Amino acid sequence: MTTTPTPLWQPDEKRLNEGQPAAFRARAEQLAGTPLTDYRDLHRWSVTQPEAFWNLVWDFCELRGHKGERVLAPSPVFRHNRWFPDARINMAENLLPRHDTHTALVSIDEGGRRDQISYNDLHVAAGQVAAQLQAAGVEPGDRVAGYMPNRIETVIAALGCAWIGAIWSSCSPDFGVEGVLDRFGQIEPKVLFACDGYQYNGKWIELDERIQALHEKLQPELLIVIPGRGDTSAVRQALNWRDWLAAAGAPPAFAELPFDHPLYILYSSGTTGAPKCIVHGTGGALIQHAKEHRLHGDLGADDVLFYFTTCGWMMWNWLVSGLQTGATLVLYDGNPAYPDATRLFDVIDAEKITHFGTSAKFVQAVEKAGAVPRDSHDLSTLRTLYSTGSPLLHESYDFLYEKVKPDLLVSSISGGTDIISCFALGSPLVPVYRGELQCLGLGLDVAVFNDDGEPVVGEKGELVCRAPFPACPVAFWNDPDEERFHGAYFDRFENVWAHGDYAEIVPHDGHDGLVIHGRSDAVLNPGGVRIGTAEIYRQVETLEEIREAIVVGQQYDGDVRVVLFVVPAEGIELTDELRKKIRTTIRAGASPRHVPAVILTVPEIPRTVSGKIVELAVRDVVHGREVRNRNALANPDALAHFADRPELA
């Protein structure tokens, strides 16, 4: 007999009846002509009446532009459906909704430097960028690239780019030259913005040589450098940011663009080959982000939004879209745990942050550091904590409610670069349950399919989206026959988006939660039983003796065996006794099939530059296969620790 779990958090009457999510549900109920008594009813209406839903989202979120008469031009082919085909819209215009002295952006680096800019001044600066780009011959559809840290100038450059209809693409400065060329080299930017240095972990990292190399290889028509220290830069053939802006003429009118006009180019991790260049449209990104910020996050003009991200991760684009609400955004550049694990909690208090976003790994790091933020910090303004990047451990939920803030709405969210947004999110309308993402995204027909392509509930399977949605990518760059696009999402199930997550829908009274068990391509299969890697990490990473771990499946003796690599905590050795404790913990918390056949120690785990562990690359090394794109890794030398291990022979 199953027992109903106890919620860790429940919405009070104010949450249920006030705020944007509640107001939207009331508007939707009027349109539906029938009561939408709970979130499941609202979600069902949003996916069975998609045109009515997305039309209401446009109006409710007060998107600026010409909407047109049609909401959808349908096609029998999933990726050929066209949303708002008659619309004309501009992202920059929508992200500059107010013209006053209200603070738009606050920029903080790990050394304590703080800058801010008002909405009025942001509008002026973005208009200067737009005027200068246009004067330099940049036209709609041209690519503009940013090799930049997460700071105010980066947002200004991106807004100026969107203003005239050029396509923005960015990489964070921790990418090496080859990693940047793997990305920008494919899209051939006409303009390159760069910062000549950045600070990380108490050190200043100079970028002059890298920028010079990128300029020689990419040959952009224009190179603008933002000096990281002082007012000048040593980069040859570069225009100085301040001087370049100061020479700007009057800003042009906002370009009126089709809904699907390319806005951003984002990149897949590139760990299994050259990164895919994923093109996202203006309207799809805007309406999806507005929905997520307002209808899932209840973010408003008086709120302060923070997400720890670099400019090489889609969460940066998501964060910037928060401007559409008129809120204040806080940008952070540097190590989030420098000089200690509570650094970002200092920022919450200092900037009065209401919505705070981070990664599941950061939450674990704070917990393992022994911090108790609820005792050391005020946190009175904090209402919502977002987590993504990897599944938030069950124990991390306990930590957040016990050691951070008991009345916090913990929104574990999941989606990705592919949709520049989320398939599953949080909501102030439904409870929070331990280990679960709260709810499925409104307007997204999310399901879990078994191997036969049948929807299942309460069983593990492939996370899919069964119906078209506005944030579907416009295209892949240099993929004229759409072969790579189709192969990425539609090879598994005919005309159904397969996202690549191994997941499980968990039904509750009034809504459905979601559990992510890992990436589908990293699923283990010992004895023919599919096991999500997250199920093993959840057990291992609760042990104080283990700092982090990575698990892969090894082909062995006609089957697959589970191999676990661990990085022990400082001063800890991987003894037979500790191996026994790991196995016992996994067996008790998961199942005997989850228990690794081999447990080995490594000094570090390879990660992408956005911080995600690379199970597929490690699996290739274990099997003696070449890892095709080491440039995608922040620490490619770490792969050597997994090669030629006699224990795996």
**Average pLDDT for consecutive 10-residue bins of the chain (649 residues)?**
78 91 97 95 98 98 98 96 98 97 97 95 98 98 97 98 98 90 96 94 93 96 89 81 96 98 91 84 98 98 97 96 98 94 97 96 92 97 94 93 97 96 97 97 98 95 97 96 94 95 95 92 79 89 92 88 94 95 91 91 90 89 86 88 91
Burial class (CB in 10 A: 0-12, 13-18, 19+), 127: buried
Kindly give the pairing relationship between strand 197-200 and strand 203-206. Answer: antiparallel
Spatial separation of the C-alpha atoms in residues 435 and 590, rounded to whole Å: 14
415 sits in which H/E element: strand 414-416
Q: In whole angstroms, give the CA distance from residue 388 to residue 479.
A: 29
How confident is the model at residue 1, as a pLDDT? 38
Give Cα separations from 325 to 61, 65, 121, 422, 613 (angstroms).
Answer: 8, 16, 17, 18, 33
Give me 372's structure tokens.
């108790």
CA-based torsion, 643, 645, 648, 649: positive or negative: positive
β-strands 497-508, 511-519 pairing: antiparallel
Are 251 and 163 spatial neighbours (Cβ–Cβ below 8 Å)? yes
Closest listed residue to residue 183, CA positions, set 173, 170, 194, 174: 170
365, two tokens: 């790091």
Distance (Å, rounded) from C-alpha 266 to C-alpha 269? 10
Q: Which helix or strand (DSSP H or E) is residue 153 part of?
A: helix 152-163
| pTM higher than the cut 0.95 | no
Q: How many CB atoms lie within 10 A of CB 481?
A: 7
For residues 25 and 21, give the distance between their C-alpha atoms in angstroms, rounded to a whole number: 6
CA pair distance 171, 211, nearest whole angstrom? 12
End-to-end CA distance of the chain: 44
Nearest CA among 143, 177, 178 for reference residue 157: 143
Q: Both tokens of residue 320?
A: 């910037």
* Alpha carbons 215 and 200: distance in angstroms, whole number: 24
- For tokens 């072969």, the residue is 483
CA distance 437 to 512: 9
Amino acid sitting at position 390 = S
Tell me the pairing of strands 304-307 and 355-359: parallel
Closest CA to 552 of 581, 586, 523, 587: 523
Beta carbons of 267 and 276 less than 8 angstroms apart: yes
pLDDT confidence of residue 549: 95
Total length of the chain: 649
β-strands 103-109, 88-89 pairing: unpaired
